[in-house]
Amino acid sequence: MPGTIKTLIADSHPAVRAEVLKLLQGNHGIQIAGEVADGDQAITETLDLQPDILLLDLTMPRLPGLEAMRAIISVYPGTRILLLNRAIRAQHIIEALQIGARGIVLNDRLADDLAPAIACVSDGGYWLGEERVDGLVEALHRLVREQASPEAKNYGLTRREVEVIRRIVDGCSNRDIAGQFGLSEETVKRHLSNIFDKLGVSTRLELALFALANHLVTP
Tens digits of per-residue pLDDT, 156-204? 898 899 999 999 988 899 999 999 999 999 999 999 999 999 998 888 8
Band (pLDDT 50/70/90 cuts) for residue 218 is low
The type of residue at 77 is P
CB 139 within 8 A of CB 104: no
- State the burial class of residue 198 (Cβ atoms within 10 Å of its Cβ: 0-12, 13-18, 19+): middle
The model's pTM: 0.64
Give pLDDT, residue 144. Answer: 62
Give pLDDT, residue 149. Answer: 47
Q: Indicate the angle between helix axes 159-169 and 185-199, nearest 10 degrees.
A: 100
Residue 29 has pLDDT above 60, yes or no: yes
Position with higher pLDDT, 191 vs 128 = 191
Give pLDDT, residue 205. Answer: 81
Give pLDDT, residue 16. Answer: 93
Give pLDDT, residue 45. Answer: 96
- In whole angstroms, what is the distance from residue 23 CA to residue 139 CA? 27
CATH numbers and ranges of domains, the chain: 5-141 (3.40.50.2300), 149-213 (1.10.10.10)
Residue 138 has pLDDT above 70, yes or no: no
CA angle 162, 164, 169 (to 5 degrees): 95
- Mean pLDDT for 129-156 is 65
Give pLDDT, residue 213. Answer: 72
pLDDT tens figures, 51-102: 999 999 988 877 777 888 989 998 888 999 999 987 766 677 777 887 888 9
Give whole-number Cα distances, 88 to 84, 97, 107, 128, in Å.
9, 13, 11, 12
